[in-house]
Structure 1
Amino acid sequence: MSRFDRAFAPLAAAVEAGRIPGGVLGMVDAQGHRAIRSVGAAQIVPQRRPMTEDTWFDLASLTKVLFTTEAILAHAEAGRIDLDAPLISVLPDFRQYNADNWERKITFRQCLGHQTPFPAVFPIYTYGRDPDLLRAFVLQHEWKAGPAVYSDINFILLGLALERLEKCGIRAMEPGLGFAWSADPSQAAATEDDTWRHRVLAGEVHDDNCSALQGAGHAGLFGTAAAILDFAAHKLTSTPPDALIRTPLSARRTHGWELPYEGWSGGERCSAHTIGHTGFTGTGLWIDFARGHAWTLLTNRIHPTRHFDSGIVTLRRAVGDLVNAD
Structure 2
Amino acid sequence: MSSVSSVSHEERLGRAFAPVAEAIEAGRIPGGVLGLIDAEGQRGVLAKGRAQVVPNAREMREDTWFDLASLTKVIFTSVRILELAAQGTIDLDAPLISVLPDLRQYNPDAWERKITFRQCLGHQTPFPAVEPIYTYGRDPDLLRTFILQREWRAGPSVYSDINYILLGLALERLEGKWIREMDAGKGFAWSADPEQSAATEDCVWRHRVLCGEVHDDNCAALEGSGHAGLFGTVASVLDFAEGVLNASRVSPATVALMRTPLSDKRTHGWERPYIGWSGGGHCTADTIGHTGFTGTGLWIDFENGRAWTLLTNRVHPTRHFDSGIFALRRAVGDAINQA
Shorter-chain TM-score range: over 0.9
The question of whether the paired residues in 1 share the 8 Å contact of 2:30 and 2:52 is answered with: yes
Q: Find the partner of 1:290 among 303, 315, 339.
A: 303
The answer as to 2:168 corresponding to 1:121 is no
The question of whether the paired residues in 1 share the 8 Å contact of 2:288 and 2:301 is answered with: yes
Q: Structure 1 CA distance, aligned partners of 2:279 and 2:175? A: 34
The two structures have a TM-score, normalised by structure 1, of: 0.99
Any residues of structure 2 matched to 1:172-187 within 5 Å, and which? 172-187=181-196
- Residue aligned with 2:152, SS: coil
The answer as to 2:235 corresponding to 1:222 is no
Aligned residues: 326
Q: Find the partner of 1:234 among 243, 262, 270.
A: 243
Q: Structure 2 CA distance, aligned partners of 1:174 and 1:69? A: 15
- Equivalent residue number for residue 263 of structure 2: 250
- Equivalent residue number for residue 318 of structure 2: 305
Listed as ranges, the gaps of 5+ residues in structure 1 are: none
- Equivalent residue number for residue 14 of structure 2: 5
Any residues of structure 2 matched to 1:40-51 within 5 Å, and which? 40-51=49-60
The question of whether the paired residues in 1 share the 8 Å contact of 2:39 and 2:304 is answered with: no
- Equivalent residue number for residue 314 of structure 1: 327
Listed as ranges, the gaps of 5+ residues in structure 2 are: 1-9
TM-superposition CA deviations, 1:55-92 (whole Å, max 9, x none):
00000000000000011111111111100000000000
- Residue aligned with 2:118, SS: helix
Q: Which amino acid aligns with 1:235?
A: V
- Equivalent residue number for residue 219 of structure 2: 210
- Equivalent residue number for residue 276 of structure 1: 289
Greater shift in the superposed pair: 231-240 or 204-213: 231-240
TM-superposition CA deviations, 1:209-253 (whole Å, max 9, x none):
000000000000000000000011111112759710000000100
The question of whether the paired residues in 1 share the 8 Å contact of 2:78 and 2:121 is answered with: yes
Q: Structure 1 CA distance, aligned partners of 2:308 and 2:143? A: 36
Q: Structure 2 CA distance, aligned partners of 1:80 and 1:233? A: 26
- Residue aligned with 2:246, SS: helix
Q: Structure 2 CA distance, aligned partners of 1:325 and 1:5? A: 13
Q: Which amino acid aligns with 2:182?
A: M
* Cα RMSD for the two superposed structures: 1.0
Q: Which amino acid aligns with 2:69?
A: A
**Identity percentage of aligned residues:** 74
